[in-house]
Each structure stands twice: as structure tokens, then as C-alpha cells.
Structure 1
Amino acid sequence: MKSQRHRITDLRTRRRELQRRAATYRASKGTPYPVEVHLLLGQTYLDPASWDALLHSRGPAVALRRARFAPRYDQLLRRLEEAITRYERP
């Protein structure tokens, strides 16, 4: 089983990949994001300081925060991926 820090890093990487995927499709087709994709991209945004705090802070409070964050963020990324897939369909 992955550590919480590795899981957070994977979520961060996955978010970047989804963002690039949507941006690439948008650039190639010239169509704006649907509202759902736009809103979900905004909901998945975390500033770099927040990511760093999740990854590098120590202590029981941060461990609890990571444990709560990961499943919620994973679910949000799944919703974003589904929305991007719908956006990419002709």
C-alpha cells in the first residue's frame, strides 16, 4: 500500500495530466470548455503552498488531513475525468 505522501503526489500528477489533456483538446478543436469542465478544473486547483504543506508537514493533524483529503480529491478527479471524456466526444 502506498504511503499517504505518495498518494498525494499521485493525485497532484493526475490533476496536471487531466488539465493538460483538457487544454490540448481545447487548443486542437478551438472549442471552449463546457461549464462542468471549467468548474471542476477550478475545484481541483490547489496552490503550490497547499500541496507542499500536505506533502512535507508532519504530525498527527497533518496525517489526518491527508487521510481525509485523498479520497475526496480522488473522487473530484474522477468527476473531472468523466467530464473531460464527455467534452472530447464529438
Structure 2
Amino acid sequence: MKNTSIITFGKFIFWLFFAFGNIALIGDLITQNEDFAIFGFMLLIHGSIINSVIIVFLLIYSYLNDDRKKDCFAAIGFILLNIPIAFLYAIIGLFIIN
């Protein structure tokens, strides 16, 4: 895997889950439909698992390829940016439900 493709992959994963989270939150705010809240909750659970698996694979890849370690950690950093955003969206979602 090329150095730039590793970082691009991390950015893609970030934007993918960021977009799905926005769809869930904005869809719930606009429509007041519980299905969006359920989608957001399931995204939080499954997204955490998927992102964790991707991070583990990137860590293993960086361990096996020392010359790409910096790029792997940059990709992991992009993926980890979703954590505070997901936390904020979860708090907003809980306030909407109550």
C-alpha cells in the first residue's frame, strides 16, 4: 500500500462514518422519526467495532512496515477524530429522546 493511500484510506473511513452520523442526527432532528435514532445508536455500536478493527489492522501493518509507520499513525489519527464527534452526537441524541 502506498503512503498516500494509507492516509487517504483513513480519511475515507473518517468521512464515511462522519456522514452516516450526520444523516442519523439531522434526520432525527428534522423528521422526529425514531428510526434515525435507532440507526444512530446502531451506528455508534457497529462503527466502534469496525473502526477498532481497522485501527488494529493499521497498527499491525505499521509494525510490519516501519517505513510506513508515520502514515499509519496519521490514518489512525483521522479515524480517532470521530470519537469526540460521536460522543457529542450521542449526548445530543439523548437530549432529543428525553
Identify the TM-score tier after normalising by the shorter chain: 0.3 to 0.5
Q: Which structure has more RCO (C-alpha within 8 Å, separation ≥ 6)?
A: 1
TM norm structure 1? 0.43
Q: Considering fraction of residues, name the structure with more helix.
A: 2
Rg: which structure is higher? 2
